[in-house]
Amino acid sequence: MSALYAARARKDKVIRILCFGAAAFGLTWLGLILFTLFSKGLAGLSPDVFTQMTPPPGSKTGGLANAIMGSVMMTVIGVGIGTPIGLLAGTYLAEYGRHEKLSFYVRFINDILLSAPSIVIGLFIYGAVVVPMGGFSGFAGSLALAVIVIPVVVRTTEDMLLLVPNQLREAASALGLPRSLVIRRIAYKAARTGIITGILLATARVAGETAPLLFTALSNQFWNANLMKTMANLPVTINNFVQSPYEYWRQLAWTGALLITLAVLALNIVARLLGAERKQK
Amino acid sequence: MTVPAQIDRTGPLDRARALAAFKLGDRTFYWLTRISALAVLCILGGIILSLIVGAWPAIQQFGFDFLVTRRWAPQLSPSPVLGALGPIYGTIVTSLLAMLIAVPVGMGIAIFLTEFCPPAIRRPVGVAIELLAGIPSIIYGMWGFFVLAPFMTDHFMPAVIATFQHVPLLNVIFAGPPSYLSLFNASLVLAIMILPFITAISRDVFQTVPPMLKESAYGLGCTTWEVVKNVVIPFTRAGVIGGIMLALGRALGETMAVTFIIGNSFQITGSIFSPGTTISAAIASEFAEASGVHMSALILLGLLLFVLTFIVLAAARLMLARLQDKQGK
């Protein structure tokens, strides 16, 4: 009998060690990535990065100013287009069509779009926007990002509205408030922090998207605020610089990668803090 | 915003007008939300339609042969020969290899976090994993290109090749010469990229097990591993498989993590140490210089990828929905 106990205890111990090993193994890789990113990225960080344009081949000076601006512009516009649509669609799923057949399909398709390969979304916008408009543009890039933002916002809006207690809605209705105002004044207010968290996470998600921009916004070396032309942006610039033979370009690629990562981490952390605040209430 | 103002202006007696305004506002808002919900369906329709239109010339020219042709020769004139077998092979090999590495490790970490981990470090490690899941894939790709690929190729691959030199079958899979740009390096980066994702999902799924169930098993004298094996995993099986398939969907469609280090070679050599390509890497590397039927063939590749991931993701969602039903949500 005691032999059996010992065997079971031993097995438990072996698994315990294996699981601990898995955690150590996984975290080591991830730690190594962050370490390389910070050590190589910080080495190239200087004011020039934020004030100079992306350099031409072979040049030893230059920064990422135009790429940073392009990325910020396209991300903001993409989130700006995607958020209202996602918000309204999420509202329909949670408030009006909670048990309808249509909502079932929308929910299912939305979940698939949520993890659809971003390169396919790039091809979609290439076929639907770039070809008819006759050229690559920052606008097409923003649209591609918007298509990625929509499912994320739909999902969080629906989830957050479902958390709002029905008594709140009933109380408002009993006071004679029409349905649309119940949603806009009461339900949105109750779900506000959750929805904002979702929008921040969606922003973080698209800030580093590269594949869809390869076929839509392309990139260039100039300061350009015209949305109808090709637009420099950090991810595509990194993509081009990584594969180049110039040491200075590679250095800039690391710095750009660090900037993107920091932005994404900051957005994630703010979203998380907001979420934690909501739970405490 | 305008509705209450209207009530004030017209006075409480003018009920009819106020009600009409409410009704209009209600109806407008309802249709706005409904149209937005329909827009989500339209996006899916738009993706499929635009890919089919773009891929049509290639579908017409190659037909079913596209799926079984190994040759990829876009420069041949007048009619290029293009076949998708190479990228399909590469996509499946890299994804499966990545899952083979990431699933056991990711589940191990999830079990560690939910069952074995001291509570003091549970939250920090969990948060770190979730933050890492949000890092853009291009970062993993460039790290793989500059750091991991050179290291693996110089130190790991030669040893493996030498070890299995005389073992049948394995000496084909691990055939030399080592190459910086290889299916193996790409799979490894892919595995590291989906690792936080698998961990985060499995942990969430494991946490759905009611504590009462686990406590009952402990009460019967089970060890922690026996609780995991006999209670946690059976209870969450559908969810775990769903989560794994979600990760597989990600791995299949991932572009930036593999493009730099896969080599964009359409050859099928059978060795995982040789260069290859995936569907997404082929599209990303060739799109800029493609035109005509070459371009159309790339879009057809995109369509194939979308169909493939759609099937995997749909299956994943159905599995996860089953877990939710079980919870009575």
Find chain A residues with C-beta within 8 A of B7's C-beta: none
| Residue range A86-96: mean pLDDT, rounded | 94
**CB of A243 less than 8 A from some CB of B:** yes
Chain B residue with minimum CA distance to A205? B134
What pLDDT score does B12 carry? 56
Substitution target in A180, A261, A270 with the highest count of B β-carbons within 10 Å is A180
pLDDT along chain B (329 residues), means of 10: 50 75 91 94 95 92 86 80 90 94 93 88 86 89 92 87 83 81 92 92 90 92 91 88 90 90 86 90 88 90 94 87 67
Cβ–Cβ under 8 Å, residues B62 and B297:
yes
What pLDDT score does B13 carry? 59
A70 CA to chain B: closest CA distance, Å?
Answer: 17
C-alpha pair distances (Å), B192 with each of A238, B5, B94, B95, B129: 20, 57, 12, 12, 12
Task: Give the amino acid at A59.
Answer: S
A221 CA to chain B: closest CA distance, Å?
Answer: 17
| Residue range A196-211: mean pLDDT, rounded | 91
What pLDDT score does B329 carry? 47
CA B258 to chain centre: 13
Cβ–Cβ under 8 Å, residues A8 and B226:
yes
B169 CA to chain A: closest CA distance, Å?
Answer: 29
**pLDDT for A1 beyond 80:** no
ipTM: 0.89
Phi, psi (deg, nearest 5) at residue B288: -60, -35
Chain B residue with minimum CA distance to A130? B50
Q: Exposure pattern of A209-238 as b/e (b: 16+ CB <10 Å)?
A: bbbbbbbbbbbbeeebeebebbbbbbbbbb
Binary contact (A33, B125; C-beta < 8 A): no
The pLDDT mean for chain A works out to 89
Burial degree of B283 (CB within 10 A; 0-12, 13-18, 19+):
buried
What pLDDT score does B327 carry? 62
What pLDDT score does B11 carry? 56
Cβ–Cβ under 8 Å, residues A227 and A138:
yes
- Binning pLDDT at 50, 70 and 90, where does residue A167 land? very high
Cβ–Cβ under 8 Å, residues B158 and B191:
no
Tens-digit pLDDT profile for residues B140-157: 999 999 999 999 888 888
Residue ranges of A 44-63 with Cβ closer than 8 A to chain B: none
Domain coordinates of chain B in residue numbers? 19-63, 72-328
What pLDDT score does B9 carry? 54
Whole-model pTM: value is: 0.89
Chain pair A-B, CB pairs under 8 angstroms: 257
**pLDDT for A201 beyond 50:** yes
Q: Which CATH number fits domain B72-328: 1.10.287.990, 3.40.50.300, 3.90.1150.10, 1.10.3720.10?
A: 1.10.3720.10
